[in-house]
Structure 1
Amino acid sequence: MSGSPTSVDKLKVLSSIHKDWCRFRTSYSGLSLTKEEDILVALNGIAKAVAEVTNDTLVAGLWRGRLIEELCWKRHTNERVHSIDEPPKPSKWRAPTWSWASINRVIGGRTMWWEYDSWLDFIHEMAAIEDLTVDQKPSGQLVNASLTLTCRLIPTSPPDSGIWAWTPYKVTVTLDDCTITNAKDLGNEISLVVLRHFAYGKEGSLQGILVLPSRVKTGSYERLGYFEFFSYVEPLEEEKRIVQSVLDGYNIAQETTIELI
């Protein structure tokens, strides 16, 4: 940037860089690496270059300065790149469940990069990062990683069949493991965690994740999937009802602090 850029100018540039990163991540996550454990190692050089420009740090594949937003990644539902026979997860641990690097699938996600627009009515982060613990090698390979999140756990139930119509909220759900065909197999301790509430109109849109008590570490949680609901400037009554039902669930739930591994 030349001259004396304003804060809005800077935000536009950073948002543009992040948009390009997200596109890169989608392409990169569709590649077949010779060594699956090198997924974070192979992009370490590019990550350092981006970090130098943005003054940010990549942790477990996510940008620390945008961590709540970055947690809103989702598995791309178009599986043309990956063989259906390819395991959905690596054979050995390489990233925590809250990182896109924990699965062997193309990563999409509706990340907002227009937050500098004056016609965005509001944007609220509905959860907060309390602590982040990352142990990684100089190569970028992770040894261990976890984060502590202050949030509200909203109980939800899988549908009787399929994976879409979760009750009582009609948000769009994308499970991280694409091999799961019956969500009932996951049990009844699943919760929604609303991460972001934003809008171009009064009603707003929502992004968040699904979590489940960990089966490997008592007292901790693992990410199970992603959910979203997008309404527009003049949402329909049904859209208003869905957004409000999730927000009502959020307001009823007690604030708690959980460890995500």
Structure 2
Amino acid sequence: MSPVESWLCAICREAIQGKSDGLTNSGATPAVPSGGAGSWFRFSVIFDDPTAEGGVQLMDVSFRLIPSQGSESEELFVFAELEGNTGSATTLDTVYAWFSECSSHHQERCKNPPTSTDGWLPTRLLDVGANSASHWKLLISDIDLRGGPAPAYLTLSYRWGTNPQHALLLSSTLDQYRKGSRISDLPQTFQDLVVVARRFGVRYVWIDCFSIIQDCQDDWEAEAPMMRQVYANAACNIAASASDSPEGGLFQSRTIQDVWPGVIVKKSTLGHEERVYCVDSIYWDRNLLTSSLHTRGWVLWECLEGHRCEGFPNGVPLYDSPKSIDQLLVRPGGIEYLGRLQDQGGNCYRENAMVLDAVNQWCDLVTAYSHCHFTNPEDKLYAFSGIAKFFQEITDETYIAGLWRSRILDLLGWVMTRPKAKPSGAYRAPSWSWASVDGPVEMSKPVLGDVEPLLTVLEVQVSTKREEDKTVGVTGGFIKLRGAFITASYTRDSTRAPRLLQIQLDDGGGTPFSAWPWLDTTEVQFGEGGAFDFLVLHSLVSSSEGNVANAKVPRLKCLVLAPASEVDGTYRRIRWFALRDQEAVDRVLAFCCKCCAILPRMQVRNVSMEIVQEGAMGCRDLRDAAGDVGQNGRHCGET
């Protein structure tokens, strides 16, 4: 725990713990009230952050103090009659009332989300029968539900768990499940789903392990890209938020202490005491979004697309209802509902590129998604396919293995905050895509201001198994770039600062400069000394607080490369680093210009550097790594 974290309260500590592992040198400012009781308080934490354009990241934690006596607290904190289990009749009645309200009155937000299709049904559904039925059976929609209006169905979000799952649809069990099977033989979570479905008056449900043939790769590849439609067209998505496996159940025991907000006693200057509730802006995250379920990769799309999504966490069922605690918990920096994504061309700093609002939201989604876990890591792009398709429709952009063609130079600057071992499974993306690695990723967002790309994209190609769906099944890819290709030597003192490198350019002079490289995977480590190759992605010029007016400080974003194959000029990405020291930036820029035999226009120091990188250095291909072999057996760096 850092010195700052050691004295933070539970609210603030929990808010920053996900960031502090990847950042350094944190500092904090005291909580500052914006008014009296009932107003927001803000606590700010500042980190040194290599992914931020200014070199630091400011994180705000907000909370409210609400008087314990009064109409607002009485409306928001009605827990006096809270029952001991989330599956009680009263709780189910409440959840059904929410569902009915949503279905009947939330026309714009919930009933007709932008990704739904009238009359659409999944390939297979489970018929759980009427209230007294003891068996369920598997239906094939085109055969068993043909001819009438499309019935309502529920979907289920849950975790598969670490133990082998035996309740599966296999080629050998298809006929058996078509005839019917006992509900009592289902795992507890699925049995509880039947209870909810019957309370909702919905006869059909969709559960992935029974709706996709698990031992048929062709069926999985056909069904996985349709997850977007499956969840978008469901009447409601039920989330087993507190369970680690299908056996854990949908319903959980609870006590009032599980959900009651913290109580603080305030003293006025006159000595009067007042009891207030402390409600923080991560209440929803702590009670639901950080639950066991929501660390599963597939669930990110299920619950973003689940326009009607009922969660059953350990405590009170939380819901986005106008008269619920959620009205307190608006997070300005949070992920918005996808239907709000709009084309706002005025926010784009570069012509013919994805608008800034859209690419920033994409970066937020990728960052959140990268913290998720997968039973099968090869699912990484499949589980994100629905989100990618939605962005494609809204922006009319070209999708490139987790990145977007018009913003590819911006999006190449992602950083692994906690690198892991290189994935050992099947190939899933080129090395320059965040989807090629496992672990938390911080996406580098585009910025407004003086941003000069130092590379030119000449060609980008990605091959996929299915030409009709380029969002999944990536088998190879490359990006061809033109720019200065720089070779540098380095030394490292592993006893003092293991990650800090002293870098010397091959420019015939000058003292070494320092850099903190961020590894993509743990296998690729720096020794005590050696050489490496890198490309400079961008020259950024940002305002420098505390200096004279209009003073600006340049930053450089760089990719470290390694030879990818025996083909000359073909490389793979292995690391990332940024340069912010003025002298180091000047030397690297001068070296770039020397290599390209073109002088930059630098009459005004530290304000604007317009550098054209082409000509002398020719073209360099940043391709996939040697040894990354696709499922079809051919080398994936070849096209």
Question: Fold conserved (TM > 0.5)?
Answer: yes
Aligned pair partner of 1:41 in 378, 382, 386 = 382
Aligned pair partner of 2:577 in 227, 230, 233 = 227
Please, what TM-score do these two structures have when normalized by structure 2? 0.34
Deviations 1:192-233 (A, max 9, x none): 20011121244411112111122x342211111111134xxx
Match of 1:89, SS?
Answer: coil
Q: Aligned partners of 2:373, 2:344: CA distance in 1, in Å? A: 42
The answer for the alignment partner of 1:233 in structure 2 is: none
Q: Aligned partners of 1:15, 1:9: CA distance in 2, in Å? A: 6
Q: Aligned partners of 1:37, 1:185: CA distance in 2, in Å? A: 35
Aligned pair partner of 1:184 in 509, 527, 536 = 527
The answer for the alignment partner of 1:197 in structure 2 is: 539
Match of 2:416, SS?
Answer: coil
May I ask how many residue pairs the two structures share in their alignment? 233
Gaps of 5+ in 2: 1-342, 505-512, 543-550, 597-616, 624-639
Q: Aligned partners of 1:192, 1:252: CA distance in 2, in Å? A: 16
Write out aligned runs for 1:7-86 (5 A): 7-9=345-347, 14-77=355-418
The answer for the alignment partner of 1:259 in structure 2 is: 621
Aligned pair partner of 2:444 in 98, 110, 113 = 110
Gaps of 5+ in 1: 80-85, 231-238
User: CA, structure 1 residues 155+45, in 2 after alignment: closer, same or farther (shift >3 Å)?
Assistant: same
**Contact preservation (8 Å) 1:89, 1:103:** yes
Structure number with greater CO (CA < 8 Å, separation at least 6) is 1
The answer for the alignment partner of 1:82 in structure 2 is: none
The answer for the alignment partner of 2:634 in structure 1 is: none
User: CA, structure 1 residues 257+41, in 2 after alignment: closer, same or farther (shift >3 Å)?
Assistant: same
Match of 2:391, SS?
Answer: helix
Deviations 1:80-101 (A, max 9, x none): xxxxxx6332423211111111
Letter in 2 for 1:144: G
The CA RMSD over aligned residues, in Å, is: 2.5
**1:248 shift after superposition:** 2.0
**1:35 shift after superposition:** 1.7
Letter in 1 for 2:422: P
User: CA, structure 1 residues 10+248, in 2 after alignment: closer, same or farther (shift >3 Å)?
Assistant: closer
The answer for the alignment partner of 1:83 in structure 2 is: none
Deviations 1:52-83 (A, max 9, x none): 22221220111111011111111124x7xxxx
Determine which structure has more spread, i.e. the larger CA radius of gyration.
Answer: 2
Structure 1 residue 156 and structure 2 residue 494: aligned?
no
Letter in 2 for 1:55: D
**Contact preservation (8 Å) 1:59, 1:134:** yes
Q: Aligned partners of 2:344, 2:417: CA distance in 1, in Å? A: 36
Q: Aligned partners of 1:209, 1:24: CA distance in 2, in Å? A: 23
The answer for the alignment partner of 2:457 in structure 1 is: 129
Letter in 2 for 1:48: K
Q: Aligned partners of 1:260, 1:33: CA distance in 2, in Å? A: 28
The answer for the alignment partner of 1:144 in structure 2 is: 476
Please, what TM-score do these two structures have when normalized by structure 1? 0.80
The answer for the alignment partner of 1:173 in structure 2 is: 517
User: CA, structure 1 residues 34+217, in 2 after alignment: closer, same or farther (shift >3 Å)?
Assistant: farther
The percent of aligned pairs where both chains have the same amino acid is 23
Letter in 1 for 2:455: A
Structure 1 residue 218 and structure 2 residue 218: aligned?
no
Letter in 2 for 1:229: L
Q: Aligned partners of 1:207, 1:107: CA distance in 2, in Å? A: 16
Letter in 2 for 1:204: P
User: CA, structure 1 residues 146+206, in 2 after alignment: closer, same or farther (shift >3 Å)?
Assistant: same
